[in-house]
Structure 1
Amino acid sequence: MLDVALFLSNATRLKAVLELGPSASYYTTLVALLSISLLLQVVIGILLVVIARLNLNEVEKQWRLNRLNNAATTLVFITVVINVFITAFGAHKTGHPAARTSRNPL
């Protein structure tokens, strides 16, 4: 569930950055980082499904499971580091659209 939450958060951030357009600070960097993060999360999800389908009790598959598990762990770490940079560059949309369009001061 945490992976799904991160995926949705990154998709929302990507949408916000794309709505702000190329005039936004760090636009290209954020689009690239968010795209890489989303792609890695899809790869991790597929990798976890493959790992779950293999039988750990079969000795000949244990080395493959170990390698797949190490790959998944490495990709999760890289995804976390990328998301730290995404947060540092600030991909959040600021301001309230309703407040900006309202003409009524009350």
Structure 2
Amino acid sequence: MGSEREMINLNPLSPGSRRENTININHYATKKSVAESMLDVALFMANATQLKAVLEQGPSFQYYATLIALISVSLFFQTAIGILLIVVARMNLNDVTKQQRLDMLNNVATALIFITVIVNIFITAFGVQKTGILYGRRLY
């Protein structure tokens, strides 16, 4: 369990129930980073699947080069975000000397996430056409 300095009492008016009303800020930040990393992995897998579909379409696909570039940029940013989140999760938020750096890294990660979302909106807009035996067939 963390030291007294790492704990924050959420209800200072009831000192007798300190154990129930305290949180470890460092653990909270680590859990938040892990959750963000899981979402990053899910998006990474979706982009990898989209990249596979575009490569299967081949260069004859109208937006082939555009989608390859956008998906590659998205995968690059997601890798950078993942590394940043690992660095942030491993640093002690309660160490005052590291707080400014952590804040800067968190802001960079947030900006990269925003850019990645915008890039993925364009990936979705250009889309990947369906392939396979049922493509082009009408089902009644």
What TM-score do you get using the length of structure 2 for normalisation?
Answer: 0.67
- 1:94 maps onto 2:110 in alignment: no
Q: Which has the higher strand share?
A: 2
**Equivalent residue for 2:48?**
11
| Distance in 2 separating the partners of 1:8 and 1:70 | 24
| Structure of greater Rg | 2
After superposing on structure 2, the runs of 4+ consecutive aligned residues of structure 1 that deviate more than 4 Å are none
Higher helix share: 1
What is the TM-score of this pair, normalised by structure 1?
0.87
Where does structure 1 lack aligned partners over 5 or more consecutive residues?
101-106
Letter matched to residue 64 of structure 2: Y
In the TM superposition, residue 96 of structure 1 has moved relative to its aligned partner by: 3.3
Count of residue pairs brought into register by the alignment? 98
CA offsets per residue over residues 29-85 of structure 1, 9 Å max, x none? 100000010111011000000001111111110000000000000000000000000
Q: In structure 2, how many angstroms separate the alpha carbons of the residues matched to 1:67 and 1:56?
A: 12
Which protein has greater RCO, CA pairs closer than 8 Å, 6+ apart? 1
RMSD: 1.2
Q: Percent identity?
A: 63
Alignment of 1:10-29 (within 5 A): 10-29=47-66
